[in-house]
Structure 1
Amino acid sequence: MRAPRWIWVRPEAKTALASGDIGAILACYRRITGLTQAALADHLGYDPSYISLLERRRRTITDRAGLTHLSRALAIPPHALGITDDDSDFQAAAQFGDSTIRLADIARQAGRAAEAADELWPLIARLEARLTEGRVDAATVHLLARARTTFGVCLGHVLAEEQQHVAARWTGKALALADQLDDAPLHGRVLRMHGNELRKAGRTAAAIARLTHALDLTHSHGERGQTLLLLARAAGEHGDAATFDAAITDAHRVDGEGGGILLTPFTLREARIRGLAATGRLHQAARLAEQQPGQAAPAPQWAAIERATTGHVLLTVGDTTTGCEALGQSLATAGELRLPHQVQRVLRTARAAGEHELAQRAEAELSRLRRPYPDTKCFGK
């Protein structure tokens, strides 16, 4: 019999583990699994009466061999039983895990997504190995969910359009972990990021469902605003005008009260232009695109995104000069930041408008950037 994989991340299990009481831990294990004392004793190789004595605190286990046996047989995190030597290296690494994820987020927002992904991979590999060994404690699962999410978002920046499903797969793997935890804020954040990666992979209906669910779980003012912005983008690309209008209006309202780094007048303008064009209101989109953003992009990649969106709309309504200029600016920024999917947006628009010189430049840039990053044999699992 193998211990249920997620037993020790449940709220009631976390309480038992925190007590460090072997009797409480065993009783909790039996409650969740439905095992009798006799069945648990058989699994552990103990006499049923000994299990009863342990649960009633009439006996305890203090020797290292006995504690290690319990840990391995029931997948109990060793540190919960006071076994620290086996976990000392991991505990030290975990202390740096939070910093690694935070620094990766900062690097991604600064336009260094490839570097951020490289920094995250060793941490993810270490945490994945721990789960494979059966050491499934809440702290590990929480840290790995965050690491997988940030890693997937980083991949979403550096992968070409046809590889965006890999980024969505990694944020989906993060969601599978978040589903096991009693942590609504984390669940909401993972849903938001997974929804956005699904949108980029072309699965807009699924993206809308995930982002709508994220709104239900998110109560932080700033994070609700960011979720609304991403929902507006997904709904616009899906052609759902009603959902787009409602989400973008609510996002504007939140922005007026301070919505965080992702939700700014710059990003809202880009989302509105793109959504209006995608829902059949091209001339409204063009009028907005003709206006200057009014503030700097909140992150370097947003400059490439906004210029590609503006160029597409202006070229579509016949403003060739300004549209090509905007696309050229997007192409230069996307090349510098290694954003192949933004180069592909420029390439599509240039081809559709018959702008052959610009299309050739985009093709050359895409050829330079198009390499399997990261190696899908490893990261695409």
Structure 2
Amino acid sequence: MWSDPGAAQALGSRDLATILRAYRAANRLSQEALAAQLGYDKSYVAMIETRKRNPGDVAGRRHIARALGLPFHLLGVTDPDDADFAALVQFGDSVIRLAEIARQSGRVVEAVNELWPLAARLEARAAEGRLERETLYLLAAARLALGVSLGTVLPEERLPGAAAWTGKALVLARHLDDDHFLATTLRMHGNELRKAGRLRAAVARLEHAVAVSTTSAARGVAFALLARAAGEAGLPDLFTEAIEGCQQRVDAGSGKELLLNPFTLREIHARGLLALDRPLDALKVLDAAAGAPAAPQWQVIERVTTGEVLAATGEQAGAEEALASAVATAEHRRLPHQLQRAVRAAKHGSLPAVVDAGRSALQRLRGLLSPAA
């Protein structure tokens, strides 16, 4: 409830009378009901709300804060954990930004290792019901960043776990009254749903992301992810519409996001055409020059897609070269589900040497990513 803008304003006042009235209004409680919750007489609650009484003792204020799910410092008292938690919150945004830089530069395991302690500490605090609006933003951002990073580094059978984290971020984003953050969360959650095989749900989230995006660049990124989901879901008209929407923004130079990049868009376009059973059209798209990848993992993704397309069009030698390159780089970058894609493509294209190499690499990665005994 403290994510509500009105309630957040009451918290910002640091005034106990205002906070109690806001709590009762949000929960539709009478003074008598609130008094019962706090273990006070109704008359005492009434006097606090009219400022005729002001509990000044530390124990009393801690009791009220605990009962209402408030951080203690909002009522002017401290908790032994508050100083450490305040430092965590102060640097939380920086942790998330640095983790995102690490992920985009191909150091995904490092990103997960940075995000996990932050997310775990925030989740523990949330379980106590003691997060104010600003910290709820941080929790939502940590959930989102962790889910996206896990979605990059986990094998396919564990990708629903990544989607679960981005879904938990979306639960908060819907309450924070911030269209930009909501659009970002919808995009990332939709993409993780797609990777986990929940294509219709992914399409729904990504169409919503397009609708609520507040900038041309954000809408372009949403279109790019929607194109991928629509292709895999077998929706040709929506796929074409989304590709065109993204292409327009790439041509206009609408932003520097990873997905508003000619190399990335070419891969998305080709993979969608292949999913729609148009391998020759996909090959034509891949034949066009598109510059360099915006992030190291996109080189692996593009190599797998190229191998899939070449195998589908009967170009065995080219497919084997592309997929062998993808296997080696995916193992180096610790991208197990790209290895799984490469193995499937090699198996479908009757390339046993690549299948064996991919399975061996995947087994080695699984060992690295499994919890210690």
Pairwise TM-score range, normalised by the shorter structure: over 0.9
Give 1:232 shift: 0.4
Residue 192 of structure 2 is aligned to residue 197 of structure 1:
yes
Ranges in structure 2 where 5+ consecutive residues have no aligned partner: none
Q: Which residue of 2 aligns with 1:212?
A: 207
Give 1:122 shift: 0.8
Q: Which residue of 2 aligns with 1:100?
A: 95
Judge conservation of contact 2:179–2:214 (CA < 8 Å) in 1.
no
Residue identity in the other structure for 2:88: A
Distance in 1, matches of 2:201 and 2:304, equals: 25
Residue identity in the other structure for 1:32: A
Residue 304 of structure 2 is aligned to residue 308 of structure 1:
yes
Cα 1:220/1:82, change in 2 over 3 Å? farther
SS of the equivalent of 2:367 reads coil
Distance in 2, matches of 1:215 and 1:129, equals: 33
Cα deviations across residues 347-368 of structure 1 (Å, max 9, x unaligned)? 1111111111222211221121
Residue 284 of structure 2 is aligned to residue 274 of structure 1:
no
Residue identity in the other structure for 1:178: A
Distance in 2, matches of 1:373 and 1:180, equals: 34
SS of the equivalent of 1:370 reads helix
Cα deviations across residues 306-349 of structure 1 (Å, max 9, x unaligned)? 11111111121112222222212212211110111111111111
Residue identity in the other structure for 2:359: E
Say which of 333, 337, 361 aligns to 2:333.
337
Distance in 1, matches of 2:220 and 2:192, equals: 18
Distance in 2, matches of 1:67 and 1:78, equals: 8
Cα 1:211/1:333, change in 2 over 3 Å? same
Cα 1:376/1:208, change in 2 over 3 Å? farther
Q: CA RMSD in A?
A: 1.7
Residue 139 of structure 2 is aligned to residue 139 of structure 1:
no
Residue 74 of structure 2 is aligned to residue 77 of structure 1:
no
Judge conservation of contact 2:310–2:318 (CA < 8 Å) in 1.
yes
Say which of 175, 184, 201 aligns to 2:179.
184
Residue identity in the other structure for 2:220: G
Give 1:376 shift: 11
Ranges in structure 1 where 5+ consecutive residues have no aligned partner: 1-6
Give 1:177 shift: 2.2
Q: Which residue of 1 aligns with 2:158?
A: 163
Residue identity in the other structure for 1:137: E
Residue identity in the other structure for 1:277: L
Give 1:217 shift: 2.1
Residue 26 of structure 2 is aligned to residue 32 of structure 1:
yes
Cα deviations across residues 222-259 of structure 1 (Å, max 9, x unaligned)? 22111110000000111100110001100011112323
For normalisation by structure 2, the TM-score amounts to 0.95
How many residues of Structure 1 are paired with residues of Structure 2 in the alignment? 370
Residue identity in the other structure for 1:289: L
Judge conservation of contact 2:231–2:239 (CA < 8 Å) in 1.
yes
Distance in 2, matches of 1:376 and 1:368, equals: 14
Residue 110 of structure 2 is aligned to residue 115 of structure 1:
yes
Residue identity in the other structure for 2:298: W
For normalisation by structure 1, the TM-score amounts to 0.93
Give 1:374 shift: 5.8
Distance in 2, matches of 1:183 and 1:302, equals: 30
Residue 12 of structure 2 is aligned to residue 15 of structure 1:
no
Give 1:107 shift: 0.4
Q: Which residue of 1 aligns with 2:233?
A: 238
SS of the equivalent of 1:61 reads coil
Give 1:32 shift: 1.1
Cα 1:113/1:350, change in 2 over 3 Å? same
Residue 307 of structure 2 is aligned to residue 318 of structure 1:
no
Residue identity in the other structure for 2:32: A
Say which of 348, 357, 365 aligns to 1:361.
357
- Identity within the alignment, %: 49
